[in-house]
Amino acid sequence: MKLADHLRPGLILNMSTRTVMGGLIRRALRFGWDGRLSDIPNHDAIVVRHYGKTYIGESKPPFAGLTPIEDYERMVESGEVYNLRIMAVAGAHEEQELLASAWWLSNVNRKPYDWMAFPRLLWKATMADWCPRAAGWEWAWYCTEGVRDAYKIGAGVDPWGKNNPTPLTTFKRALERKLIVLRHIGESVTRNGWTL
């Protein structure tokens, strides 16, 4: 599979991973989900261009960084990354995608992972999101938060529409057609009559 053939700066990747952190995140997000635990997405990333090369920009412990596309191809091939969805923001034009990608690169890349958000996101998943304040630190990002801010702040569009989005929020916005799945690699997941 040649993942690079399907990517351009600003596209969003939503996926499940077979990592310890991925398993913890899926368990935290499982409340209110009536499907298989393994179907819950646990990671979001954004496609960026840096010095003429395309990378996957992602926030993961300990710091946000750039992952070569070839690494993602290997992770998909090995099954470490599965149910990978390549998405675009509905109605966004190429300039907005480029703005989001550039914002992520300038503001999130090399910043610490937002560990402090994890307890709050767990609380939100189990109880409710009654606090209008963003979870965690103001100067660090977890995966979905960085991608959301790239679009909200960098490009002026916010299909997530909430303070503390998760990879499951990204998946739900695809069901609502606020995010458009351009390509899906893996098993399809059906929710609310839509198959993604």
Q: Which tens digits make up the pLDDT trace of 2-18?
A: 898 999 999 999 999 99
Q: Which tens digits make up the pLDDT trace of 71-103?
A: 999 999 999 999 999 999 999 999 999 999 999
- Residue 179 contacts residue 159 (beta carbons within 8 Å): yes
pLDDT the model gives residue 50:
96
Range of the domain at 7: 3-195
pLDDT the model gives residue 2:
87
Domain with residue 185: its CATH number is 3.90.1720.10
Average pLDDT of the segment spanning 101-115? 91
Compute the distance between CA of residue 31 and CA of residue 23 in angstroms, rounded to an integer: 14
Number of structural domains, the chain?
Answer: 1
Average pLDDT of the segment spanning 42-68? 95
Average pLDDT of the segment spanning 131-158? 77
Q: Which tens digits make up the pLDDT trace of 18-34?
A: 998 888 888 888 876 77
Beta strands in the chain (DSSP E): 12-17, 43-50, 53-58, 65-68, 81-89, 179-185, 190-191, 194-195
Compute the distance between CA of residue 69 and CA of residue 48 in angstroms, rounded to an integer: 11
- Residue 50 contacts residue 105 (beta carbons within 8 Å): yes
pLDDT the model gives residue 194:
54
Lowest mean pLDDT of 6-15, 163-172, 176-185, name the range.
163-172
Task: Report the side by side order of strands in the sheet with 43-50.
Answer: 65-68, 53-58, 43-50, 12-17, 81-89, 179-185
Local structure of residue 2 (DSSP, 8 states)? -
- Mean pLDDT (the chain, rounded): 85
Reported as a pLDDT band with limits 50, 70 and 90, residue 46 is very high
